[in-house]
Amino acid sequence: MAIFLKCGIFNHLREATRIVYWRNAIFVGQPIGKHVSLWGHSFPFFFEDIMLTESQPSFQDPTQFQSAAVLESDSSSGKDCPDRSYYKLDGLERIIDANSLTTPIWSLVVGDNPRQYFDPQNMDELKAGIAAQGLLQPILIRVNENNLLEIVAGERRYRACLELFGDDYEMPIRFAVMSKQEAEAAAIMENHHRDNVSPTEEATHAAKVLAEFQGNREATAKFLGWSPATLNNRLALMNLTQAVRTAVNTKQITVSIGELLATLNKERQEKALATILEKKLTAVQVKAFIQSQAKELATCIFDKTECNTCQFNSDLQQGLFAETIKSGVCSNSPCFDKKTDEKLEESKLSLQDEFPLVKFINVGDNHTVIRIVPDGTNGVGQEQAESCKACANYGGAVSKLPDSLGKIFTNQCFDVKCHKEKVDTFKKMSSPNQGASASKPTPASGTTAKSDAKAKDKAVSTETKAVVTSIIETTRVVEYRVDVWRNALRAVLMTSPEKCLSLLFALAATGNIHHLSSSSIKDAIIKLSASDSTEERTKESSFDVSALATKTDALSNENREKLLSGLTRSAVKGVEVHVLKSMLKYANVNLADHWVINADFLNLLTKSEMEVLAKEIGLISYLDSKYAAMKQKKKPELITDLLGCGFDFKAIVPKVMRF
């Protein structure tokens, strides 16, 4: 069925199947009694049988749309009016600026609005204004991922009009093409500049955008149009308790006080809020109070042996002063903070050998990291959970949050998008209908539930076996691997003069002969020539072509073969990796004859990667229960134990080392 936009009058809107374009979606169905106003006309609006199109609009001049209309597929004639001129259209958004557009308010859905609190007094004033003058400013909408008309900006106006005029009201709209991420940013920006959305609501959505950028705060701030300081201040509010959030939203306390309270743990926030509201404390007073309480030695994460005899320990000042801020408080903030930072760095460093990626978790990073588990609501399956250990985004985290300062979290995924995909895949695989196919025969009567369960388990097992597990190809691993490949190829070429000659011709034919080292070749000719004539090796720094050719003529057949082998092996050192792989395949190099898993290789890996390797080569199965105790050891000890456990590493080439 061809879909077109027709330039002309509305002479085809009959009771046949209708087709309406919205962004990349095509809505197909019968009239359902509701209408959309477009360019001063009204036509049926449908939401049935959604299809997608990738056709792009060919219009450049907005004036081309002034008499445009949506055309049905004329099922009665069986053709699409060949006497007319048609243009494919990829969405109404390209023409909204040139034409007014409204839609019934019932057709709209509320988007992910950063605003959660709607001030009743402000809403009453807005409704009074709309009732008196009508809605003067259209709301901004988009087609969301479910192919529905979603409000991006203007929910207050939407609510007011719905309450005043009902769901048949023709709502003025502006249409825009936006992704979910862009829509969230637009909603935040509009409310941010109007200064009528609460900072805690901005914080929630800023944290979601931060997750989209995988924790990159610089990119997030740029995307939102904020300064880095504004972003950090907003994200800090993510640590507030719900009670404090509500106090900020309802303006019982200022944003500045909220930012100060965000530095406290949850229990202290609740207590401090009650005091602030009761005594009507200012931000300056709250700051002074928090500073006096923030450096409690009882809650520090570092070794406080030195603090017990330190002059800045308030416990030691009680004999000097009649009053003190509080018992067990450090009054030397720079020292306290320095020791805290050193301990945090120490904790992070301790994880470097364990995981490919280690990060600090700051306030606002709520949506940038998630724990990997095989089962449960966010389960990815056992096989995938094991596979994740070899991912560059798998790792550990050290908390900088007030409630969990210094706490270490393991088995973390720092790519929440990928994690969600893995969760969805596992849920689909684990569903009761997984493995069922319309093309497969229905099980015969008498099939037991037990056999069905076996079939399901088999289907899930088959899917999970498809999970690919391999070591991360870090720069260090790649450099090590290429060196091993080059050495193995050189070793093979030393005993294969015929292959050397063929490879030289092939290198010359493909433009790779320039990788030969002229100085190395000249040195080889001189050296071999000197050994043939028993004369001392010449010390001359250069020879012309004739002299070098004469010396080559004088070489014995044995030394000629050595020279040929040396030429080819010299080229091996400089060729690019894709050429090297081709040479390895031609020479039928078996890497297992020249290399075996060793300490140098294992030192390039983290402990989680070593576990992936051990599983891949069957080492975990060989060690059985012994492995659980081994992997608790430090990395150097673990390497020693693995290499000395009696396992035969010969003839084993892990996937990450293969060409």
pLDDT at 561 over 70: yes
Dihedral (C-alpha) 554, 557, 559, 565: value to the nearest 10 degrees?
Answer: 130
d(CA 3, CA 12): 13
What pLDDT was estimated at residue 434? 53
Kindly report the backbone phi and psi dihedral angles of residue 172, in degrees, each rounded to the nearest multiple of 5, phi listed first: -65, 130
* C-beta pairs of 548-557 under 8 Å, 24+ apart in sequence: 548/522, 551/525, 551/526, 552/525, 554/529, 555/525, 555/528, 555/529, 556/532
When pLDDT is averaged across residues 577-592 and rounded to a whole number, the result is 93
d(CA 486, CA 117): 66
What pLDDT was estimated at residue 514? 74
On the CB side of 78, CA atoms within 13 Å amount to: 0
What pLDDT was estimated at residue 27? 38
Short-list 576, 575, 642, CA closest to 605: 642
Kindly report the backbone phi and psi dihedral angles of residue 453, in degrees, each rounded to the nearest multiple of 5, phi listed first: -65, -40
d(CA 607, CA 617): 15
Which residue would you say has higher pLDDT here, 321 or 149? 149
Burial class (CB in 10 A: 0-12, 13-18, 19+), 349: exposed
pTM: 0.56
Q: How far is CA 445 from the centre of its chain?
A: 48
What pLDDT was estimated at residue 43? 41
Q: What is the DSSP letter of 309?
A: G
Dihedral (C-alpha) 207, 213, 214, 215: value to the nearest 10 degrees?
Answer: -50
Which tokens in the block code for residue 228?
């880095």
Parse the chain into domains and list their residue ranges. Answer: 5-98, 343-430, 475-593, 599-657
d(CA 490, CA 364): 54
Of 14-18, 450-454, 501-505, 625-629, the poorest mean pLDDT is in: 14-18
pLDDT at 44 over 90: no
d(CA 187, CA 144): 14
Contact 591, 490 (CB under 8 A): no
Which tokens in the block code for residue 35?
């209408």
d(CA 575, CA 570): 9
Tens of pLDDT, residue by residue over 374-432, are 999 999 999 899 889 888 899 999 999 988 999 999 999 999 989 999 999 999 888 76
Tens of pLDDT, residue by residue over 298-352, are 889 999 888 888 878 877 655 444 443 456 788 788 899 899 999 999 999 989 8
User: Residues 6 or more apart from 592 whose CB is under 8 A from it?
Assistant: 650, 651, 652, 653
Which tokens in the block code for residue 71?
């055309």
Which residue would you say has higher pLDDT here, 199 or 257? 257
pLDDT-above-70 percentage for the chain: 71
pLDDT at 549 over 50: yes
Which residue would you say has higher pLDDT here, 354 or 101? 354
Which tokens in the block code for residue 342?
């050193």
- Rama region for 328: left / alpha / beta (φ>0; ψ in -120 to 50; rest): left
Of 100-109, 516-525, 528-537, the poorest mean pLDDT is in: 528-537
What pLDDT was estimated at residue 191? 60
Which tokens in the block code for residue 412?
């973390």
Tens of pLDDT, residue by residue over 216-238, are 999 888 888 788 988 998 999 99
d(CA 426, CA 420): 10
Q: How confident is the model at residue 116 (pLDDT cuts 50, 70, 90)?
A: low
Which tokens in the block code for residue 524?
């080889």
Is the CA virtual torsion 343, 344, 347, 349 positive or negative? negative
Kindly report the backbone phi and psi dihedral angles of residue 298, in degrees, each rounded to the nearest multiple of 5, phi listed first: -65, -25
Short-list 344, 345, 304, CA closest to 328: 304
Query: What does the mean pLDDT of the chain come to?
Result: 74
Contact 51, 14 (CB under 8 A): no
What pLDDT was estimated at residue 293? 64
